[in-house]
Amino acid sequence: MNFGTVAILGPGLIGGSLALALADRGLAKRLTIYARSPRALDEIRIAGIDAELSTNPSEAVREADVVVLCVPIEAMGALVQEFRDALKPGALVTDVGSVKGSVDAALAPLLAGRAWWVGSHPMAGSEQSGFIAARPDLFENAAVIVTPTPATAPGAAAKATEFWRALGARVFTLAPEEHDQAVADISHVPHLMAALLVASANPASLPLAGGGFRDTTRVASGSPELWIEILWANREALGRQCSAWAAQLEKIERLFRQDTPAAKSELFKLLEQAQSTRSQLIDKKPPVSRS
Amino acid sequence: MNFGTVAILGPGLIGGSLALALADRGLAKRLTIYARSPRALDEIRIAGIDAELSTNPSEAVREADVVVLCVPIEAMGALVQEFRDALKPGALVTDVGSVKGSVDAALAPLLAGRAWWVGSHPMAGSEQSGFIAARPDLFENAAVIVTPTPATAPGAAAKATEFWRALGARVFTLAPEEHDQAVADISHVPHLMAALLVASANPASLPLAGGGFRDTTRVASGSPELWIEILWANREALGRQCSAWAAQLEKIERLFRQDTPAAKSELFKLLEQAQSTRSQLIDKKPPVSRS
């Protein structure tokens, strides 16, 4: 399988891993990489990836059959406006942003009639960032969500699915809004909770922390600059979750205060359900360890 | 260094690791192990640990210089009543329970005038349980909190400190109530949050979970039978934390709803503070990886 010329815009952790993975698997006839700064391109040059490098996005996409936007979500609209006139007719444009409703709303009108557009979100990454953290196996066994809408050309979703599958990912298809709700559950709310666990702990308690605390809060080491944009872009779904959590925690506080066998048994049921669900998660898919 | 005869009551993950560590480091002249069920003792026998095994706690403690209670916290009071008449005068009795205020309140009166009593809490373990998960290096570089009170014989705290240090642990001294507040921060609240993250996620979202969700929720795989007792025993400190978290989450919901630069900047500051604190945690102590 070969996807022709692939343009990667933004060679950070995800874009850099994409370049490494495409090269490793021989999936692109030609690779072009755009970065805003020449310094970022120097890193790629030093790594010895066989790609054409440019700080001009129009140059990077001109011959591309597949264009993958790997820049921060808040930078995508302006970038697309900059390069869209240079796109080859019939090119597939997709992205790797962590939020899909607002990205689709911003990009679909800009690309309508000019290219096949469909959003993607690889659920891969780590608390690290930048090309320095890129790995050719980042997408292997990772979940990637492709988010077509009624306005999406059917061929676009099929081609994006084929692209991520070729990189070793398990591809799911959800509407952008379904995606945003799901990632609130499994990524954005966990990130917020991890940050709150660290920020609200008494600093004097931290030297006592064991492996459990380190694991539970690992994601809080992620870039605040990156995460504020992700959380903010998904603020509607997240706001609803915050209210639901506040109500849930007040209920648990009442159970503790009641201190009856029935109250204890209710909290026990929550722990039991969580354990059972969490264990199924392990059983279904061996965890892909990420440093 | 040698602690004479050491009695381990309850050879689960912690008690079993203690037996392996004492044997490995040659810290006990003689090791006795009590378990309620003969089946549990068979496991020890098969593992080939050089110890005297008994289902009679009085027999296990009779000659002991150090007695370590490694049974669930709710079972400790009855067990101590069963064996206390058999204790050798001057023996040190300590425990490994995750909550210290209620344990000290229950055990100190039972042991007053009969033995040196002081509580201990090794911050080591994993989501696994039972002797099968025991490891001789479990206490290496782990934090152990020793919790004397004004009623504690000064020699008791010093001897317990020496004991855990000999096993490779970093020992901290806190009053039982300070301990309970600290472990609420770094262990009990994180456990509750991990359980809520799993239990409140839409089951349809779970197949999409990546490494971040797995890490953040790993502790939710812990035994619900064990954790309900830990959380319930520390319900006063935890109830206060639940109220504080509910207020915090309602505040974040308001920030999302306001959707102003000032609101966004406030959430950014929280993420930034969390990242900075979490990174210091890594820098100060290399994480001890526990599967």
- In A, minimum Cα distance to B171 occurs at A208
pLDDT digits (tens, 9 = 90+) for A141-179: 999 999 999 999 989 999 999 999 999 999 999 999 999
Task: Read off the pLDDT of each residue in B261-273 and give the average, rounded to a whole number.
Answer: 97
| Domain shared by A58 and A72, yes or no | yes
pLDDT band at residue A257 using 50, 70 and 90 as cut-offs: very high
| Domain shared by B128 and B23, yes or no | yes
| Domain shared by A71 and A129, yes or no | yes
Domain boundary among A147, A174, A201: A174
What is the residue range of B273's domain?
246-283
Judged by CB atoms closer than 8 Å, whether chains meet at B216 and A213 is answered as no
- Tell me the sheet residues that pair with A32: A7, A52
pLDDT digits (tens, 9 = 90+) for A210-238: 888 999 999 999 999 989 988 998 998 99
| Domain shared by A157 and A185, yes or no | no
Judged by CB atoms closer than 8 Å, whether chains meet at A187 and B195 is answered as no
pLDDT at position A128, please? 74
Enter the tokens of residue A140. Answer: 């292997």
Enter the tokens of residue A157. Answer: 């979703």
- With respect to residue B186, please indicate whether it lies within any of the assigned structural domains: no
| Domain shared by A117 and A78, yes or no | yes
More confident of the two residues B79 and A124: B79
pLDDT at position A289, please? 40
Residue to mutate among A206, A225, A257, A288, with most B CBs inside 10 A, is A206
Task: Read off the pLDDT of each residue in A87-96 and give the average, rounded to a whole number.
Answer: 96
| Domain shared by A220 and A156, yes or no | no
Nearest CB among B201, B223, B256 relative to A185 is that of B201
Nearest CB among A198, A259, A267 relative to B274 is that of A198
Query: In this structure, how many other beta carbons lie within 10 angstroms of the beta carbon of residue A112?
Result: 10
| Domain shared by A45 and A115, yes or no | yes
pLDDT band at residue A285 using 50, 70 and 90 as cut-offs: very low
- With respect to residue B123, please indicate whether it lies within any of the assigned structural domains: yes
Closest CA to B213 of B197, B192, B199: B197
Chain A residues in contact with B199 by the CB 8 A cut-off are 270, 273-274, 277
pLDDT digits (tens, 9 = 90+) for A171-211: 999 999 999 999 999 999 999 999 999 999 999 899 888 88
- How many residue pairs bridge chain A and chain B with CB atoms within 8 Å of each other? 298
| Contact predicate A291/A126, CB 8 Å | yes
Task: Read off the pLDDT of each residue in B174-195 and give the average, rounded to a whole number.
Answer: 94
- With respect to residue A163, please indicate whether it lies within any of the assigned structural domains: yes
**pTM score of the predicted model:** 0.76
Q: What mean pLDDT value characterizes chain B? A: 93
CATH of the domain at B87: 3.40.50.720
B27 alpha carbon, distance to own chain's centre: 22
pLDDT at position A211, please? 84
pLDDT at position A127, please? 66
Residue to mutate among B164, B267, B276, with most A CBs inside 10 A, is B267
| Contacting residues for B62 by C-beta, under 8 A, at least 6 apart | B86, B88
Q: Count of domains in chain B?
A: 2
| Domain shared by A246 and A132, yes or no | no
| Contacting residues for A52 by C-beta, under 8 A, at least 6 apart | A30, A31, A32, A33, A60
pLDDT at B126 over 70: no
The fraction of chain A above a pLDDT of 90, given in percent, is: 84
- With respect to residue A290, please indicate whether it lies within any of the assigned structural domains: no
Rg (Cα) of chain A, in Å, rounded?
A: 21
Give me the interface pTM, i.e. the ipTM. 0.77
Report how far apart, in Å, the C-alpha atoms of B274 and of each of A69, A209, B189, B213, B278 are.
Answer: 29, 15, 16, 18, 6
pLDDT band at residue B194 using 50, 70 and 90 as cut-offs: very high
pLDDT at position A280, please? 85
Residue to mutate among B188, B249, B264, with most A CBs inside 10 A, is B249
CATH of the domain at A252: 1.10.3660.10
- With respect to residue A259, please indicate whether it lies within any of the assigned structural domains: yes
pLDDT at position A207, please? 86
pLDDT digits (tens, 9 = 90+) for B202-228: 998 998 888 889 999 999 999 999 899
Q: What mean pLDDT value characterizes chain A? A: 93
Q: Rounded to the nearest 5 degrees, what angle is found at the Cα of B219, between the Cα atoms of B217 and B225?
A: 125
Closest CA to B76 of B100, B40, B60: B100
- With respect to residue A205, please indicate whether it lies within any of the assigned structural domains: yes
- In A, minimum Cα distance to B203 occurs at A277
- With respect to residue A289, please indicate whether it lies within any of the assigned structural domains: no
| Domain shared by A162 and A184, yes or no | no
Chain A closest CA to B51's CA: distance in Å? 29
| Domain shared by A170 and A183, yes or no | no
Nearest CB among B239, B279, B280 relative to A256 is that of B239
Domain boundary among B174, B199, B232: B174
pLDDT band at residue A291 using 50, 70 and 90 as cut-offs: very low
| Domain shared by A135 and A217, yes or no | no
pLDDT at A284 over 60: no
Judged by CB atoms closer than 8 Å, whether chains meet at A124 and B210 is answered as yes
- In B, minimum Cα distance to A124 occurs at B210
| Domain shared by B132 and B264, yes or no | no
Q: How far apart are CA A54 and CA A222, in angstroms?
A: 28
Domain boundary among B127, B143, B174: B174
- With respect to residue B193, please indicate whether it lies within any of the assigned structural domains: no
Task: Read off the pLDDT of each residue in B22-36 and give the average, rounded to a whole number.
Answer: 97
What is the secondary structure of A223-284 as a DSSP string?
A: -HHHHHHHHHHTHHHHHHHHHHHHHHHHHHHHHHHH--HHHHHHHHHHHHHHHHHHHHHHHH
